[in-house]
Structure 1
């Protein structure tokens, strides 16, 4: 991927796709509680709570996590993990694993593609990934938003049951609910995340500030996480609320945005910003570092296998 030295042999497409999906799953396992806290903060204030949930308020990322553990148990911070891992294998493998190939296709194989080409490639793979993985995102968000409290009815009891119930009650449209805002969000995230990582890493290597190793990958990923959070947070909040909403609450994603603006003001679009950054920054670090290392391990294994056959 980004930052390969001219002497390096680019990994095959299959290696990049598999290592991207695997690295994203590793990153999700590490950072999933932060994502759950982000979702709870983003939907807070959307509607009045009732019964046992009345009076529960979330304050800050760590306050949200501690409140969830205290009121719902430790497992609650991993609500939706199965769907989250399914999402990453379907989503990250496409948006990250195919990025180099799509970038090279648009640039005609040029070694240093322009920023415009990189952005276009990021938007393309982001949109492709959402089109395939949207049902997993719907289920993940709804599980993360679901409160596991006595006296509060649970919408879903299991991942596969959630897919079936959404299909039965809302049809295919329900499983692909919010595809357009999610494509918008993930096109923004993908092109910002990958292009930022690409450019930061390239600048570090060009100026010889660091060599192509773990510290370089860490700095590049952390910077990409911050830039991405600033740009994508408003769309992410709208996406989360729209995906979690019951049928009929919002007419469209635009209506959801307008309702947020008129009832809660502009600050609603940056609800959960700190957990978003903590999650996205740490997710980027774990994912990109794992991705770079997994590619190298897979390439080394492939070369050893070819040498023995």
Structure 2
């Protein structure tokens, strides 16, 4: 995706598009429990009780995962996985797969893109992806936030992924499927810029100074750095996005109102709730995604070269 040498055969836009979606799905399959733990920690505090009057308290990443497994079963860690995979296949394909094409669009075909162009390209593809894939994100968050205790006569919020789409559209209107779209656009513009541009720059510097070759350790290092930086800058807006998308009543009048209530009732630390699972998830997700993406592109290019080579 980045720092392609002139002598290398560049992957096509189609390879990047579907390769990014596939790599993101692989990453989601591996890191989804961390994402679910992050969501539970982020919404903790807005409601002090659950069915039966029990106080819900999650402590840390692995404490949250352990509590969920004990009280709801191991399957609860993968609540919303179908919607999550639908989200990644559509969302990542656009925001990651079209990043290079967007850079070339802004530079009018030139390979020399400065930091400003890279940031602009990241913001553009991030916003485009959210506008298209927002319903899948809403459904994913709703499932991840849903608590269902096996020893209680609690009612499922939704019976399945498609039922969730239909129920939200019927009860909350079509706008309900795009609930939190603006904070999500803000969040993903930030995430996309931090993630892609940081990976882009770190990988480019590593190759420029001959610290590593364009291989697995290089991809791992660049992805880890991108994951950490992204978590730091995106956590506050991510928490607001999660809480606002999970609300089904007039709990918050807007994303800014949600942020204000969090600040006044829970303090500034509320914006970094779930930071460790966010970092563990984003760091590991970036590593798996970028490494998988690079390998998928190389496999596709080898296949293309083999197909084009004369027998």
C-alpha contact (below 8 Å) 1:52/1:151 kept by paired residues: no
Q: How does 1:1-309 map to 2 (within 5 A)?
A: 1-52=1-52, 54-149=54-149, 150-307=152-309
Q: Deviation per CA, 1:48-91, whole angstroms, max 9, x where unpaired? A: 32334613310000000000000000100000000000000000
Whole-angstrom CA distance in 2 between matches of 1:299 and 1:147 = 45
TM-score, with length taken from structure 1: 0.98
Q: Flag the 1:5–1:186 CA change in 2: closer, same or farther, 3 A.
A: same
Whole-angstrom CA distance in 2 between matches of 1:18 and 1:166 = 29
- Give the secondary structure class of the aligned counterpart of 1:261: helix
Where structure 2 has 5 or more consecutive residues not aligned to the other structure, the ranges are none
Whole-angstrom CA distance in 2 between matches of 1:77 and 1:53 = 23
Root-mean-square deviation over aligned CA pairs: 1.1
Whole-angstrom CA distance in 2 between matches of 1:124 and 1:9 = 26
1:2: how far off?
A: 0.6
Where structure 1 has 5 or more consecutive residues not aligned to the other structure, the ranges are none
1:308: how far off?
A: 6.5
TM-score, with length taken from structure 2: 0.97
1:109: how far off?
A: 2.4
1:151: how far off?
A: 3.2
C-alpha contact (below 8 Å) 1:53/1:152 kept by paired residues: no
- Give the secondary structure class of the aligned counterpart of 1:124: helix
